[in-house]
Structure 1
Amino acid sequence: MNNNLQREKEDQRDRDFQRRANNDTHRINHNSQNNICSFYQNIGACRHGEMCVLDHCIPTFSRTILIPQMYQNPKLKLKERISYTIEKELQNQLDTFYKDLFYELMKYGEIEELMVSDNLTPHLLGHVYVKYVSDIGANRAFKALENKLFNQTTLKPEFSPVVNFDGTRCRANGTSRGCARGDFCNFLHIRDPSPTLLINLFKDQKEYYEDIERQKELSEKKTRYSDEKLSDEENYKSKNDNNGENDSYSDSQEDNVKK
């Protein structure tokens, strides 16, 4: 009975979210209120997929990239109830995946957020969201990852309209009462990496880009030094050439005087 009541509350929250999102869309463009799928607009995915009667406005560029079904959630293979031991193993596997992925993605641009969906519902299964500091980083990652083979899966990244994930997370997930829909919730259940790992990754990223800046400055100094040296050599050569011409002129004048 309590589960049914909780599920009804979750359904009502879905409806409230859809209504609020539609109102937000209306404030941006009142003519398109009834045409835009607010779930796709605010979560980056919709359970109806291509069959949705509302528009999925896929942006041509964004700071956020969605990589569908990249994370192969080990919970799909579990038949027994998730115990503390299994939960710890799931976290370890996520940490390993997250670490490798972070180091790969940060090569294309500075990462602001990286999130992995823990949902088992088909339209959110294995989704990875990466939000870059700039559009340039996101565009580089998009081009590099498109059609790339990863764990025998061809990656199909897409630019996502989501830039603020505060409203995409399931607020009940992780609380004492838990989410009534469990892993099949239509809101994101983000499995976060271990706090220490997350701190170290962003620290490494900062050092990585600081080192790039230092190398860039060093390269620019070397270029300026080379240009200045070349300019000095050209000036020196030009000066010597002029002195040679002056010497020849002096010799000619002296010869004329003797004559």
Structure 2
Amino acid sequence: MANYLASIFGTEQDKVNCSFYYKIGACRHGDRCSRKHVKPSYSQTILLPNLYQNPQYDPKNKMNPSQLQNHFDAFYEDFWCEMCKYGEIEEVVVCENNNDHLIGNVYARFKYEDSAQKACDALNSRCGEGCVRGGFCNFIHRKEPSDELDRELDLSTKKWLRQRGRDERSVTRSPSPEPTRKRF
């Protein structure tokens, strides 16, 4: 019996373990799947779900096929170079599917398992407390503007307020008495 169970593990005949999840690390049923989603302890491959935002599926997209390819090539090169920091890459696969469980998924297969583990650890630490949900996280992942833009906007706002006298604290005049505040 044990030999039989071992021979069907991760296949369509396995009624306990999800074959989709076993093969690709994603399942169209998600948490509602009736089968187990067994995450491997060690693997040469890491999955970064929903990482590639394909402009092809954006209804406002105005890119022609050449521009779409250039966009993808730039993403692919950037991702490859980033993963090379952790070890030798054997393959990168970016899903072009538009299914909820596959859209934007990126797989990186390293030559060695320890390289994949280094990449996983480093990438998880970028999101604070080990968050791997990215854009689908329920907590805020704040994106900061560049320091230059932040400074420029701050100075422009102060100048605009001073010119229009909208903010008493920004205008250099004699201080006016504090307004009384009503309680509701």
Give yes or no for TM over 0.5.
yes
Question: 2:48 aligns to what?
Answer: 67
The answer to whether the 8 A contact 1:67-1:127 is kept is yes
**Is the aligned partner of 1:51 residue 2:32?**
yes
TM-score, L = length of structure 2: 0.61
The yes-or-no answer on 1:126 pairing with 2:88 is no
The structural deviation recorded for 1:156 is 4.4
* Partners of 2:132 and 2:98 in 1: CA distance: 19
- The alpha-carbon deviation at position 39 of structure 1 amounts to 1.0
SS at 2:64 equivalent: helix
What are structure 1's unaligned runs of at least 5 residues?
A: 1-23, 158-259
Write the deviation string for residues 81-135 of structure 1: whole angstroms up to 9, x where unpaired: x9xx722211110000011111110110100101111111110011000000001
Q: Does 1:37 align with 2:22?
A: no
Mapped contact 2:9–2:17 kept (Cα < 8 A): no
Aligned residue in 1 for 2:72: 94
| TM value normalised by structure 1 | 0.44
Identify which range, 67-76 or 124-133, moves more after superposition.
67-76
Q: Is residue 83 of structure 2 the alignment partner of residue 105 of structure 1? A: yes
The alignment of Structure 1 onto Structure 2 pairs a total of residues equal to: 126
Alignment check: 8 A CA contact 1:26 1:33 kept: no
Alignment match, 2:119: 141
Structure whose CA Rg is larger: 1
Q: C-alpha offsets along residues 164-191 of structure 1, whole Å, 9 cap, x if unaligned?
A: xxxxxxxxxxxxxxxxxxxxxxxxxxxx
Give the counterpart letter for 2:46 in structure 1. I
For 1:27, the equivalent position in structure 2 comes to 7
CA distance in 1: counterparts of 2:9 and 2:26, whole angstroms: 21
Aligned AA (1:73): N
Tell me the SS of whatever aligns to 1:102.
Answer: helix
The answer to whether the 8 Å contact 2:42/2:113 transfers is yes
Q: Give unpaired runs (5+ residues) of structure 2.
A: 135-184
Residues 148, 155 of structure 1: 8 Å contact kept: no
In the TM superposition, residue 29 of structure 1 has moved relative to its aligned partner by: 5.0
SS of alignment partner, residue 55 of structure 1: coil
More helix by share: 1
Equivalent AA in structure 2 for residue 56 of structure 1: H
Secondary structure at the counterpart of residue 53 of structure 1: coil
In structure 2, how many angstroms separate the alpha carbons of the residues matched to 1:130 and 1:53?
28
- State, as a whole percentage, how many aligned pairs show the same letter: 40
* Change in 2 beyond 3 A, CA 1:92/1:35: same
Quote the Cα distance in structure 2 between the aligned partners of 1:27 and 1:111. 30
What's the counterpart of residue 151 of structure 2? none
Alpha-carbon distance between aligned partners in 1 of 2:54 and 2:87, rounded to the nearest angstrom: 26
Bigger RCO (CA 8 Å, 6+ sep) = 1
